[in-house]
Structures are given as structure tokens and as C-alpha cells.
Chain A
């Protein structure tokens, strides 16, 4: 810095202090973009009463799948693979994918939600078959270990954490962390590793995927009676660094802070991953620029003709020998009823209960099912100034931030030089209770979100406001189920997961217990299996 610049900077600081926030607001406002998605316009159709018109058409199908998230797509794929093709999958949005939705601009594709899968556990045969079908698993080696496609294994550098004024490598705090805290952190991780390989009296894994395959041994299920924070404190884990880290983890996977999440679910986050591979370990992840949108495209590839988007299901009526599914076709602007033999309801229970108009189900959902709201933003930016330490990574987290930081969607691109990037910023809205947070989020403008994001990221990228070209924001009102204490081991989700009338089957991660790709995949698969088995029975 020369003398002139030095003086200019001093004046600059004074000017900013003097004018306070006003000029900053102005700059944030000039970043273009909008709040995207959450098809409220379609939702308004119900509100405006258009769907009460009598149906203009009645069609017949063997099976209807309601909802095109991973559960619904997985069910459809499994039916198709078993030669059952006379089905229709209905989704309210313009594109299927649910939480794994993705977008695209001139720089790259980017995720709008779920953006990676961990290296799968080896007992998930059907799931591994699917991944092999997609080219994610290249082959199975002589030791029966899957070899993953290197293009999809997250490239180095994978993760970094901004802590004590510097970016450190990896997310577990260590830079500038006192020795007694690092000792507690490694003791905690050792404990998690014990749980990883723990087996209950019933010979089942303590923490399995799917959750329903886990041991019913009291030694483990009792963990579902207290919160993660309570469990940590009773086990003498007091380090604030450790608590901040664990709180980051539970917000990351469940959108729920560690003082609310069930300890069983919290430990499941650390202990359930045990996948072995020829060229990766259980802590590695597979990712794509478009996140799990990549897997969405693979799931729907074979069933495109049977997918009907922009279709709002309004009512599901189970009858003795058939199911009536009423939906509003937005494009054609008409009400249609499908008469089907079977129906798979692959939507969350708070919607399913309304579609079925079942008061008992509604009451149970209201009492036991809580969903966390999220905000996800995609930031289109030029190269940013970096603080010292580890270089820009795939996952970039700031210690102690309310947000989960951002992932670099361009990370898996192969080219050496990049001048622009898409950064996907994740914020679970969990400071207050979900209902309040949802209301607060609905009242925020695009400029409000931009300011919130910029204020958070300015700490690590001084020039982000001037380098950002566009920010688009998506609000997920009910992004994922919250496994609060008692939810996983409680009766409610098991009861609501039961098929109705033997012809309405449920598939969703809320009844699975936790919102992860594998759960959704098996929810769909199992619902499809129920139908396939019945088909065999009928024929017999």
C-alpha cells in the first residue's frame, strides 16, 4: 500500500462508519435474482377454489404414484424394472426431484437442495445396483468392493472451516483449539466409532441404514429419549468447540439444532456410515455439480413417459377394490380422476393426511411430525478474495455461523481454470420453532435474504458484494422431518406408515425417520415391492 492508498483507506473506513448501513443496503439491492420455486401459484389454485369443479375426465391406470421426489421416483423405477408399466407418477412441480431438485446457468448446473451421497453401506445391494446402473459404481472388484467413478468422488480439497481468523483443512475444529478441547473431540469421535460397529442383543446393527433395520436393543433405543446436547453433557462432553461442531452436524443433516434433536438421530449421523470401497472410505462423498439432481435424472430416465408434472393431486379416496385419485392438470386447466388398483403416496404425511382427508391421521401428524424449514441460495460470482489458510474447497463452513456455509457447485468440473462460480448457500431456519420460522421466511424479500447472505459471507470474502452477479433464493417450508426425541422409537410413524386398505401405500423419508437419499430410495422400493407381491398373489 502506498501513502495515497493508505490515506484513502482511512477515509474509506470513516465514511463507512459515518453513513452506516445505508450504502451497503443499496449495493445489496443491486444484486439481481429472485425468490424461486415453492409453486405457490399452483397452491393458490386450490385456495381460489378452481379445483372444486367437477372432473372433466376419468381415466384408468393400474397404479398411481403421488409425488416425484426420490421416494416416488424410486418406486416408479422399481415397478418399471419388474415389468409393471401401466402407472402414472404425478408431481405438482414443473420438474420432479423433490429435495434433490437442481438448476443450471451458463457456468454450471447447481443443486437446490440435497447435493451429495456418502459412500453407501455395502449391505444396500439394490442401492449399489442402481449406482452401478448410473455409472457411479464402475465395477465390483475381486474383494466384492465397489470401485467408484473418480469423476464423482468429491475432488480434493473437500472441506474447510473458517475458525480463529483462518481457513483450516477439514470441518472438525483444530486450528487454534486448546488441547483439552481437541482431546474431548477425539474422545467423542472414538465413542462414535464404537457406535459405528456396535451390535444389539438382537444381533442387529445399533445404527443402520435404513433406520428401521436398526437394533431394538434398549441400550440404544433409550438414546431416543433425550436430546443430543443432553446426551453429550451426561457423557462429560462439555467442550464448546465440540458442541458447536455437533450442532453444525445436526443442523446440516436434520435442519435441527443439537439441543432439540434426538440423541439417537444425532449419533446415527456419525455412526451409520460404514461403507467400504476399493477406492474410497465411509467418510468420502459422491457429488455432482447439480448435486443429487444427477441421480434424479438417472432415476427418471426409464420412466419419462409415465411422469406427469404440474399436476396437483387434490384428493385420494381409497375404496374396497380401487383407489380414486383426483388431480388438477395445471397445463390443461382441468380436473381429472384416475381410477387405479393401487396408489403409492410418496409425499410427506402432512400432505398425505390432507389428501386422504383422514382426521385421525391429521391429528397424529400435528402431534408428532415436525418439519424444518430451509433457505437455499445459489450465488453466481466471480473469483473471490480468500482469507489465509486452506484454499477454496467443495464445502466451505464458517465456525459459529447460523448458516452451513456454501458448497462450490463448480468443484467437480474438470477444467483447470475457472473465472466464475456457482456457490450454493445453505441456511436451516431453526433458531425459532418451525412455524414461526416459516412465517418469518415468507415475509422476507429478496433484498432481505441477499443482505443476510452477504453479511454472513463478508466475514470470509471481503469483496463478495462487488463480485456477486446474481443470487437466487429458494425457501423450503417443510424441507425435512425433524427426528426429535421419541420420534424414531415412537409408535406414530410406524402406524402412519401402514398401508391403507391394502391399496394405498406410503413412501417418504418422514415415516422412515430421517431425510437421507438411501431412506427415500428404500421407501420407494419397498412400496413398489408391496404392489409387486400382491400382483403375484392375484395371479396365483
Chain B
């Protein structure tokens, strides 16, 4: 055996070692990522490992169809693994918020990586079969393979994840895969056809992955910003809810517990419709009660009536009312309505406050969240509307946000029946088809949402 052949043999065996390390890393990355994003780590790890090993079997089976230029194929596969494996976690992070069938993409990626990794060892053994005696070959290849696996399993949790994070870890091993491919193409240039093309491809991929490695933080934050598609300018948790305000060039949005409450671009449509038909119908409008609506936007509309002397705003969440009376950008939105001298802010439970209250009002504006659970449901009960009747002056009027008769007709009519059973003589229903920004999709498209408002007149 010549010296050159011995060193070639060692280079290939070191390649086995690196390949094995990379192979296991991709598997661990997929497993961890699935646990992070989907939860239930036992299931995720079991199914990912199972799929990966099965895919490796497919790769081994397919290896028999590679009959010529095996070394060239081997290097190409190296580069392909480097590309797919390297970008695997970045891709998964980016896809997660965007697609509904995330699992399909996850397992497809695991399957492809597994097949490619499964091709490696059989092809390599065939490359080396004429260079080393068979029993030595098997012994050496598998020794390096398993040592590589050991190294991967130790450095992955102890070094890589804490220091590099998931996206950089997979990119780092992608770079190693591609570097090996490039080095093999360089070293065995004489034995492969069109080595220059492969070397060029390898260098190109290397550059791409290094750039991605450097800018991986941006990928991460971009991925997170896809959940809220705009920049988060303010986020806080009150004892009652998670308050998140996002902003883009065009608009400001308020999200409570992940549900869009309003967009500054079109909230006026909702708040004008909520307030004006009701208030304009009151002849002698002096005292107004606003229940809910800690953002001060309904109050802003109420303040447009010069005859109004006093507004009481009852909103449970002091964090909300403080936020909307102290942050410059939000004050601009509600026209400093919450600082107006006519406005008194009461941070109490609306039901309890109403129960204890003895004052009468000319108009009541009710802007509660949709009755999506039993406790909020109490705010839409006969009892609540009976209390409401007590606080209204004989000529007064109340208006109730009562969900969308388009999306939730049952809720809408249920609220309507409840209001009538509480003894309100007439319940004029104003159904307004309000084009509002749809918070449910990530597309910048205006879709019509219908919000039902119920005007209530006492007996």
C-alpha cells in the first residue's frame, strides 16, 4: 500500500467520523425542535428518531443503484446534506408560524436528511472496499461512525445548544459537511470528473451557510415576528391579561391574550358605530357610563358631545387604563380622553360595581370581550341586564357589543333574547357591516367583519 493510499484511507475515515457526528446532530436538532415547538418531548423524540433511522435504511437500500462515479456521488451527497441539514432548523422555525401542517414539513425534512445520511456509509464502504481488507474495513468504518455519534450526543446538549442555539448548531454542522465535501473534491480531484464544478458549488454553499450563521439572530427574531407580524412596541402582563401592542408603518394594534382588539387604522369605524347611534338618540345627554373599554377610545367618541358633563369608565384592569393615559403614542390615539376632567376611571369589576351603584345615567356604552367563557358570560346574563336597567334614566339608552351576527349568529341572538327577557321594552338591533382588519390571517388584506350592536331602551 502506498503512502498516498494510506493517507487517502485515513482522510476518508475521518470523513466517516465527521459524517456520523453531523448525521446524529441533525437528528437531535429535529427532535429538540419538534419538542420545543410541538411539546410532548417523549413522543417527538421517539417519532423523529424512528423516522430518521427508517429513512437511513431507505438510503442504504438505494445505495445499490449508484453504480458509477461513486466518489463523485458521495461528495455531491455530502454537499446536499450540508445544505439541507444545515438549514433544517432555520427552515423549521420559519415555517412553524406560517403553515398549518407543520408536521408534514418536519417529517419530510427528517426523511430527506435520513435518506441522504443513509447513503453515505454504504457508498463510502464501497469506495474503500478495494483499499482495505473487508474485516478491517467494517471494523474501522463502524468504529469511527460510533465514535462520531458519541461525540455528537455529548457536545449537543452540553456545548452546542447552550452556546450556539439550534439554528447555529445545524448551520455549523452544515458548514462542516460542505467543507468535507470540498476537501474531498480537492484531494481526489484527479479521480473525479469535473471536479472544478463540484469545488465551485461547495465554495458557494460554504459562503451561503457562513453568512446565514452570522445572521442567524435575525432569522430567529424574524420567525418570532411572524407570530405577531409587526414589531412589538409594548408588551406587559396585568393580573388579568397579556397586553401586547404592535406597530407597523401604517397602524398600531392592541392584542389582549393574543386576540386583536383594534387596529388604529380602522378602530374609529367600530367606536363611532358603538357610540354615536346610541348617544345621538338621547335628548338630554349629561351622564354617561362606559363599561369595559379601558383603551379610552369609546370615551373619546363620548367626549364629542358637549352636553356631556360626566363620564364614568369602569374597567377592571388598571394596567390598561394607566397604559392608555400615560403612553404618548396611545394618548395620541384616544385624544387624551382618559385624562379629561369629565372622565372618572374606576378600576373595578363591572358586575360588582353595577350591583353596588345607585347613580343613574343617560347612556351606557358596553364594550366587553365576547362571551367566550362562563365567567365573561355573566356579563351577558339576564341578571346583568336587569342591573343595567336600574342605572338607566327613563329616557336613557344603552348599547351592547354583542358579537358578530355573521360569524356567531347563535351568540348574537342569545344576547338579543336575554336583553328582552330582562324587560327592556324595545331592543333595536343595529347590525353594522364594518370592514375591520382581520386579525386571524397574516395577510395585509382588509376583510369585512360584522359586529352586532344592540341598542337598548328601557320600558
From A1, A150, A414, B40 is in contact (CB under 8 Å) with A1
Instruction: Report the bound CA distance from A417 to B378 in whole Å.
Output: 11
What size tier do the contact residues of chain B reach? 20 to 34
Q: Is the CB of B316 within 8 A of A417?
A: yes
From B36, B351, B378, B379, A2 is in contact (CB under 8 Å) with B36
Per-residue CB proximity of A141-152 to B under 8 Å, as 1/0? 000000000110
Known contacts being A391-B374, A416-B375, is A2 close to B239, with CB within 8 Å?
no
Q: Is the CB of A415 within 8 A of B35?
A: no
Residues of B within 8 A of A5 (CB): 41
Q: Is the CB of B378 within 8 A of A414?
A: yes
Q: Is the CB of A417 within 8 A of B240?
A: yes
Instruction: Report the bound CA distance from A2 to B165 in whole Å.
Output: 13
Q: Is the CB of B36 within 8 A of A414?
A: no
Instruction: Report the bound CA distance from A2 to B373 in whole Å.
Output: 31
Q: Is the CB of A415 within 8 A of B383?
A: no
Interface assignment of A220: CB less than 8 Å from any CB of chain B = no
Per-residue CB proximity of B303-332 to A under 8 Å, as 1/0? 000000000000010000000000000000
Residues of B within 8 A of A22 (CB): none
From A2, A414, A419, B32 is in contact (CB under 8 Å) with A2
Residue of B nearest to A1 (CB): B41
Instruction: Give the number of residue pairs across the A-B interface with Cβ within 8 Å.
Output: 52
Closest approach, in angstroms, between the C-beta of A286 and any C-beta of chain B? 14
Residues of A within 8 A of B443 (CB): none
Per-residue CB proximity of A1-14 to B under 8 Å, as 1/0? 11101100000000
Interface assignment of B355: CB less than 8 Å from any CB of chain A = yes
Known contacts being A157-B374, A391-B373, A416-B378, is A2 close to B352, with CB within 8 Å?
no
Closest approach, in angstroms, between the C-beta of A527 and any C-beta of chain B? 37
Question: Which of B39, B375, B377, B381 gathers the greatest number of chain A CB atoms within 10 Å?
Answer: B375
Closest approach, in angstroms, between the C-beta of A385 and any C-beta of chain B? 15
Closest approach, in angstroms, between the C-beta of B34 and any C-beta of chain A? 11
Residues of B within 8 A of A151 (CB): 383
Interface assignment of B157: CB less than 8 Å from any CB of chain A = yes
Residue of B nearest to A419 (CB): B239
Residue of A nearest to B368 (CB): A416
Instruction: Report the bound CA distance from A60 to B349 in whole Å.
Output: 53
Closest approach, in angstroms, between the C-beta of A392 and any C-beta of chain B? 9
Residue of A nearest to B386 (CB): A150
Q: Is the CB of A2 within 8 A of B35?
A: yes
Within 8 A of B (CB), among A415-470: 415-419
Interface assignment of A130: CB less than 8 Å from any CB of chain B = no
Closest approach, in angstroms, between the C-beta of B271 and any C-beta of chain A? 22
Within 8 A of B (CB), among A145-167: 150-151, 155-157
Residue of A nearest to B44 (CB): A1
Q: Is the CB of B35 within 8 A of A150?
A: no
Q: Is the CB of B351 within 8 A of A416?
A: yes
Instruction: Report the bound CA distance from A530 to B338 in whole Å.
Output: 67
Residues of A within 8 A of B49 (CB): none
Q: Is the CB of B239 within 8 A of A3?
A: no
Instruction: Report the bound CA distance from A391 to B373 in whole Å.
Output: 9
Q: A155-B374, A391-B373 known; 20 other A-B pairs, CB under 8 Å? A: A1-B40, A1-B41, A2-B36, A3-B41, A3-B161, A6-B35, A6-B41, A150-B381, A150-B382, A157-B374, A391-B374, A414-B378, A415-B349, A415-B351, A415-B352, A416-B376, A416-B379, A417-B240, A417-B316, A417-B375
Closest 5 interchain pairs by CB? Answer: A415-B349, A414-B351, A150-B383, A6-B41, A1-B41
Write 6 A-B pairs (CB below 8 A) sorted by A numbering. Answer: A1-B41, A2-B35, A2-B41, A3-B157, A151-B383, A417-B349
* Residues on B facing A (Cβ under 8 Å): 32, 35-36, 39-42, 157, 161, 239-240, 316, 349-352, 355, 373-379, 381-383, 386
